[in-house]
Amino acid sequence: MTLHYHLGSEVEHTVHKAELIGLLLAAHLIGTEKQGAMSCSIAIDNQAALRAFNSELRKPGHHLAREVLLLATRIQKCRSKNKYLLTLRWAAGHISITGNEKVDSKAKKAVAGLTSDKELLPPYLRKPLLINPSAVKRKLIDKLKKDWNKNWHNSKRGKNMLKIDSTTLSNRFIKTISNAKLSREASSRIVQLWLWHIPLNSYLYKFQRTDKANCPACGADNETITHFHLDCTHYMFKRWALAQQAKKKQKNMLIEMLLGDPEMAIPLANYIDGTSRFKVKPGEQTPTQNITATQDTQHRQT
């Protein structure tokens, strides 16, 4: 005999809950046997479901585990004269076990919406089940992530990052700045470049942190990220290593390539360090530190 139970949407229920329902259905089938065996074994390929029975059964979904234990106790009392034994054991999934494959084929019917007649199901499953709080929380988190990604991609900085890496936000960026060969300062500079939020004069001039947007090295009218990395004649020699690395990769040396290719992180950090553009003499403040100090002073006065 086979029992099917369609649990419902994943926005209200979890896989863990489905595994416990499977155990409950199995125990119910054992209890309905007229000539019960001396001992039975239920195999399941989910270790988390098995560990639930060694817990205090206070987490969401554990009400099903308690129901399995109650049902198993009733079966044991009915067959106590025969020294009945019920064992729950773990079985590795997807390793060509005949029983597993048979159950998987039956489970697909339940996924499609098939549920056995109520009279055949355990009494506990004949009424609507509680919605799992973990599933509701996961749905909310997924929605927040989706909304956050949408807002980020529509923002100015988000659009700039998409030009550098079309997979943004991705683990590639985290992997790039987490390179063990990068110092904390170098990683910070690369992040600032990705966000187009780096203390070059074209950016600082917008906040009146400098008198003009000119490049302090060559005198060009606008010290932008592109100018600093690709055009400034004062850093031409320092830029040679970057150019060689780009040539080796057979790519044009563009800002998108310098920032979007993880292998360019070390050469880029070496170039920035070699220019000494962001190095501060002892006792001096960086423009960004000056901004922070001004904002802090205003806050205290308020």
Between residues 255 and 82, which one has the greater pLDDT? 255
Closest residue by Cα to residue 17 from 56, 54, 68: 68
- pLDDT band at 292; cut points 50, 70, 90: very low
49 pLDDT tier (thresholds 50, 70, 90): confident
pLDDT digits (tens, 9 = 90+) for 192-206: 888 888 899 999 999
CB 42 within 8 A of CB 27: yes
pLDDT 10s digits, 13-30: 888 888 889 899 988 888
Average pLDDT on 148-171 reads 79
Q: Which letter does DSSP use for residue 81 in this model? A: G
Q: Which domains does the chain have, with CATH numbers?
A: 15-136 (3.30.420), 155-301 (no CATH)
Q: pLDDT class for 228, splitting at 50, 70, 90? A: very high
Distance of alpha carbon 179 from alpha carbon 247, whole angstroms: 22
Q: Which helix (H) or strand (E) holds 85?
A: strand 85-90
